[in-house]
Structure 1
Amino acid sequence: MDAMQSQTLFRQQAVVSQQQKIDGAILLKPRLPTLMITVLLCSWLIGVLSWLLAGRYTYTQTVTGWLEPALGITPVYGPVSGAIVSELLVSENAQVQKGTPLIRLTRDAIFHNGQSINDALIKELETQIERLQNQYRLTQKGFTTQQQRLTKAAERLTEDRSRLAAMRRLLDNKMALLDKQIQSFTELTHQGFSSRQQLQTLESQRLDETYQRQNLEREWIATLQAIEDNQFARNEAEHSHQLQLLNIENQISELQKSLDQQYSQQEVIIIASTDGRVTNLNVKPGQRAQSNVPLLSLMPLNAEISAQLLIPVAAAGQISPGQSISLRYDAFPHTQFGTYKATIDSVSPHLLLPQEVAQKPLAINTPVYLAKATLQATSIEHFNQRIALRAGMTFAAEIAIRERNLMQWLFEPLYALHGGVL
C-alpha cells in the first residue's frame, strides 16, 4: 500500500533525484552580454566619480565699470547756473595747456522794455566812475591853486621878516648911538659945557626910538607867527588833500570792483586748470550751463588707461587686490572680440554713494565700492589692426569669487543644511 502511495504522490524522477545528492555549491556562469554591461556600468561610475572630484566649479560675480586714465579725468564746471554758452573756444580731442580758454559764457537779463540789465548797470557804474575821476582832477587843481596862494603868502611873509630884521638892526644901531650921545651930553651937562635942554631932547628921542623898537618887535613876532601859521596851513592843506584823494580813490576802486564783477557776471571765460585733452564736450552755443553738470572733461595726455569697477556691497568682502578678472567691452561684443584680462590693484576702503558717481559713465542706485584694475592690453586686435581702448568705454567684468570641485558643488545644499561650510 505504501508503494502505491509513492507512485501516486511523486514522480519517479524526483524520487531518483532525492536518492542521488551531490555535495557543494552551485555557481551560475554569467553570459557574455551581461558581463560586458556590468563592466561598462562600473567604468562609467568610476569615470563620473573621477570627474566630480577632479572637475572645478568657479563662483563668479558680474560687475560693471568703465575705463579711465590712471591719473583721473578732470571735469570742468561752469561757475554759475543759468549762464548761456556763447562760444566754444576748443573742440573735441583738442590738446590744451593750463590756462587755455575753453568756453565763453554770458549771463544777462532784461527789463520789461527790453533793455539789458547788465548794460544799464555797467553804464551807470561807468558814469559814476567818470564823475569821481573829474572830481579827482578838480580836487588836484584846487589844491594846486591853494598851494600857490599859500606859497606866495609865505614868500611875502619871508620878505616882511627880512625887512623887519633890517629895520631892527637899523633901530638898534640908532638907539646905541643915542645912548652914546646921551652919555656924552650927560657928562658935558654936569661940567657945564652943555645945556640941560639938549640932554632932555636926546632922552626924548631915545624914548621915541624905544617905543618904535617895541612896535617893531610886536610886528616881528606877528610876522613869525604868520609864517608859522602859513606853514601849518600848507601842511594841513596837504594832509586834507591826500585824504580827499584817498577817499575818491577808494570810491573809484569800489565802483571799479562792482564794474568788474558786473562784467564777470555778464561774460565768463572758462580756462583749463591743467594740461590735457578735451573730452566729453557736452554743450553747444546757446545752451544753458548747469553748475552740477560738467561742460567738458580734461583727460591727461599720454596717460595709461585703467579699469574702474563698481563692486556691490554683498561681494566686496570676497574681492581683494591681485584677483584676475575677465572684461567684456560693450563697444566690442565678446562673441566677436572675446574677453580680456585685467588684475585688481585696489579696492576703496569706503562706500561710494550714488551721487558721488553721478557724473561717471554708469549710473547706480545703491552704494558700492570702487575697485581699480590694471589692463593686460590697452588695445584690441581686429582684422590684424590694433584698436586703442578709450577712456569712458564701459564693460562688464567677471570676477572669480571662489572655486569648488563638482562633488562639493553638487552636495553643497545638503551640506549647508547641516550648518557646514564648504
Structure 2
Amino acid sequence: MAEDSASPLFRGEALKWRQEAWIGSVQLIEPLSGKIAALCTVALVICVGIYVFFGSYTRRIHANGVMLPPEGLVVAEADQGGVVAAIHIHEGDHVAAGERLFSVDVSSWSEDGATGQQLVEGLRRQKDLLEHRQNLLAADAPVELSSLKDELESLRQQYGMLQEQSGRDKKSLPLIERAMNEMRTAMDRHLVTETQFQSQLFSYVQFMDTQSQTLRTLVEMNGHMADLQYRINRHQYKVAEDMNDLAVRLSDVQRQLIQAHGQSMGVINARVSGTVDGIRTVVGQRVNPGQSLLSILPDRATLQAELYVNSQAIGFVRPGQHVLLKYAAYPYQRFGLYEGEVVEVTKAPLPERSNYAARTGQQGGSASAPQPGADVYRIRVRPNQEFVIAYGKHEKLKPGMAVDAEIAIDQRKLYQWLLDPVVSMVDTVRSISGGGAPARSLADSAAQPDTPSPAPSRQNDTKGTP
C-alpha cells in the first residue's frame, strides 16, 4: 500500500508536457509541391528570356552648353580705353540700330583740366563765330544789293543830266565858233580891240574845257555804271561764294570738333536692333579697348541650345535626333525635362571653343564632356518651345543660359548588349587566328536590331537608361 501511494497518478511524459505547454504547440507545415516550384521557376526564366529578347536599351550621351541664337549675340565693345560716363539703356530694353548705349570719357588731363574738353570749347566758340558771320552775311546781302541799285539809279540820273548839258553845249558850240570868227574878222578890220578878242577867246577856251570835262565825266560815269551793273548782276553769286567759303570753314571746324569730341568723350552705339542683355559695366568703371560691355539679342532671333561634346560622343549624333533638355536655372527635378531636336552637327572639331567647352564640361561632370586641349564638336538643338513653365507662368529662355542635354544615340536589343563582351572576344580571337567571318557581323545580321548602328563605345554604356 505504501508503494501504491508514492507512485504518481499521471505519467511523467504527460506531466512534462503540461509544464512546457506555455511554450506553444508544435504545428507541422507541409512544403509546396516540387512540381509547383519547378513550374514557377520555368515561368520566371521564360519571362526573363522574353524580356531580354524583345526588350531594348537606348544609350544616351550627356552634353553641356548654353542657349544662344544661331547667328550669335552681338557684343558691344569699347573702341578705346576710358571711364564710363553714362549708361543710356537698361537690362531688357529694346534698342534700335544706331541708338546710343554708353558714353565713355577718354580725355587726357593737364594742369588746366581736361585737354580734350578745352579743345572742344575753343572749337565751339570758333564755330559760333562762323555761324554768326554767316547770319550777318545773309542779312546784309539784301541791304548791299539795294544800296548798289540806289547808287546805280543816282548815277543814271546824273548821267542823264550831263547828257542834257552836253547836248546844250553841242548846240551852243557853232554859235560860239561863229562869234569867234566874227570877232577875229572884226579885229583884223580893227573894229574891236585885241583885248576884247582875247577876252572872247578866253571864254571860248573855258567853254571847250567845260565841254571836255563834261564828256570825261560822262565816260567815267558810264564805266562806273557798268561796274555797278556788273556787281549787281554778280551779287547773288558773290554772296553764294562767301557763304560756301564760310560753309567750308564751318565744315572743317565741325570735323575738328568731332575729332576733339572723340578725344574727350567716346560714344558706343547699337549696331543692330534687338534686346539688351548682360550689361557688364557700371558708371565710373574704367574700360579697356575691346572690352565687352553688353550683348544684344537681335530681333527675330530664336534661341537654340549650343552643346559641346568630345570626339568619343559625336559618332552617332545625327540631325533630327530626339533630345531631352535640362536648364540649369530651372532644375528638372522640379520643373521637368523639355524636348528638342538636333538641327546641326559640326563635321570638324572647333579648337577655338575647347577651353570654354572644357570649363562647361567640368561644371557638368559628364564623361562625354570635352577635356582641355581635346577635340570639341558643336551640336545645335532647337527646343520645341522657347519657354519654361515655372509655377504656372511661361518663363522665356534667355541667351547665355546654361543647359544640359541627354541625346539618344543608339538603341539595340538587350541580348545584343549582353553578348557584346562575348562577341568582342570572339572577334579578337578570329582576328588573331585570321580565319572566318567576324562574329560581330554574323551576330548583328542574325539579330536585326531596331536601329541598325555600329557597336557602341564601351565608355558610354553606363550613361543610358533602359
TM-score tier (shorter): 0.5 to 0.7
Corresponding residue SS for 1:53 = helix
CA contact (8 A) 1:83 1:106 kept: yes
Per-residue deviation, 1:125: 1.6
Give the Cα separation in 1 of the matches to 2:296 and 2:132.
Answer: 48
Aligned residues of 1:77 and 1:291 also touching (Cα < 8 A): no
Map of 1:393 onto structure 2:
401
Asked if 1 retains the 8 angstrom alpha-carbon contact of 2:97 and 2:270, the reply is yes
Q: CA offset at residue 324 of structure 1?
A: 0.7
Structure 1's unaligned 5+ residue stretches are 1-31, 183-196, 198-203
Q: List aligned pairs for 1:239-388, cutoff 5 A.
A: 242-263=240-261, 266-268=264-266, 277-290=275-288, 292-299=290-297, 306-310=304-308, 312=310, 316=314, 318-334=316-332, 338-347=336-345, 354=352, 367-375=376-384, 378-380=387-389, 385=392, 388=395
Aligned to 1:167: 165
Distance 1:172 1:267, change over 3 A: same
Give 2:82's aligned amino acid. A
SS in 2 for 1:295: strand
CA gap of 1:75–1:43, structure 2 versus 1, over 3 A, is closer
Q: Please give the alpha-carbon distance, in whole angstroms, between the structure 1 residues aligned to 2:255 and 2:307.
A: 48
Distance across 1 between alignment mates of 2:385 and 2:239: 76
Question: Partner residue of 1:413?
Answer: 424
Which structure 2 residues correspond to residues 88-167 of structure 1 after superposition, within 5 A?
Answer: 88-93=87-92, 95-96=93-94, 98=96, 103-113=101-111, 115-130=113-128, 132=130, 154-155=152-153, 157-167=155-165
1:415–1:73 distance in 2 versus 1, CA, 3 Å: same
Report the residue type matching 2:380 in the other structure.
A
Is the Cα–Cα contact under 8 Å of residues 320 and 344 in structure 1 kept in the other structure?
yes
Query: C-alpha distance in 1, partners of 2:110/2:314?
Result: 59
Moved more, 262-271 or 395-404: 262-271
Q: Against the structure 1 CA distance between its residues 350 and 105, is the aligned structure 2 distance closer, same or farther, given a 3 Å change threshold?
A: farther
Partners of 1:43 and 1:110 in 2: how far apart? 87
Evaluate the alpha carbon distance shift between residue 219 and residue 117 of structure 1 in structure 2; reply closer, same or farther with a 3 A threshold.
closer
Q: Distance in 1 between matches of 2:396 and 2:151?
A: 88
CA shift, 1:325, in A, is 1.0
Contact 1:312-1:369 at 8 Å conserved across structures: no
C-alpha offsets along residues 346-385 of structure 1, whole Å, 9 cap, x if unaligned? 45688766369979x9698655334132235832466xx5
Q: TM-score, normalised by structure 1?
A: 0.63
How many angstroms apart in 1 are the aligned matches of 2:405 and 2:304?
13
Residues 8-27 of structure 1 aligned to structure 2 (within 5 Å): none
SS in structure 2 at match of 1:84: strand
The question of whether the paired residues in 2 share the 8 Å contact of 1:83 and 1:105 is answered with: no
- CA spacing shift, 1:357–1:286, aligned 2, 3 Å: farther
Residue 54 of structure 1 aligns with which residue? 54
**Number of residue pairs matched?**
364
**Greater CA drift, 115-124 or 139-148:** 139-148
Question: CA 1:60–1:231 in structure 2 vs 1: closer, same or farther (change >3 Å)?
Answer: same
- 1:5 aligned partner: none
- Distance in 2 (CA, whole Å) between partners of 1:127 and 1:227 is 42
Letter in 2 for 1:162: G
Write the letter of the residue equivalent to 1:375.
N
Q: State the secondary structure of the residue aligned to 2:109.
A: coil
Say whether the 8 Å CA contact 1:85–1:103 is kept in structure 2: no
Preserved CA contact (<8 Å) 1:66 1:307? yes
Separation in 1 of the partners of 2:263 and 2:97?
20
User: Does the 8 A contact of 2:305 with 2:403 survive in 1?
Assistant: no
- Contact 1:306/1:375 (CA < 8 Å) preserved in 2? no
Change (3 A) 1:302 1:167: closer
- The change in CA–CA distance for 1:123 and 1:174 in structure 2 (over 3 A counts) is same
Report the RMSD for the aligned CA atoms in angstroms. Answer: 5.3
Aligned CA distance change for structure 1 residues 223 and 85 (closer, same or farther; 3 Å): closer
1:220 Cα deviation after fit: 3.9
Question: Hey, what's the Cα distance between the residues in 2 that align with 1:349 and 1:167?
Answer: 107
Deviation, 1:399, is 1.0
Unaligned runs of 5+ in 2: 1-32, 180-190, 192-200, 362-369, 432-437, 442-453, 456-466
Match of 1:85 in 2: 84
Q: C-alpha offsets along residues 46-74 of structure 1, whole Å, 9 cap, x if unaligned?
A: 6665444333232323222233578x775
SS in structure 1 opposite 2:325?
strand
Provide closer, same or farther for how the CA distance between residues 42 and 78 of structure 1 changes in structure 2, counting only shifts above 3 A.
Answer: closer
C-alpha displacement of 1:241: 5.6
- Aligned partner of 1:166: which letter? E
**How far off its partner does 1:116 sit?**
0.9
The alpha-carbon deviation at position 216 of structure 1 amounts to 5.9
Partner of 1:7: none
Q: Is the 8 A contact 2:79 2:290 kept in 1?
A: no
Residue 397 of structure 2 aligns to which amino acid in structure 1?
Answer: R
Matching residue of 1:19: none
C-alpha change, 1:129 and 1:387, in structure 2 (3 Å) is closer
**Percent identical:** 20
- Check 1:39–1:153 CA distance in 2 against 1; reply closer, same or farther (3 A cut): closer
Normalising by structure 2, we get a TM-score of: 0.58
Q: Following TM superposition, by how much is the alpha carbon of 1:260 offset from its aligned partner in structure 2, in angstroms?
A: 3.8
Shift of 1:345: 3.9
**How far did residue 121 of structure 1 move?**
1.3
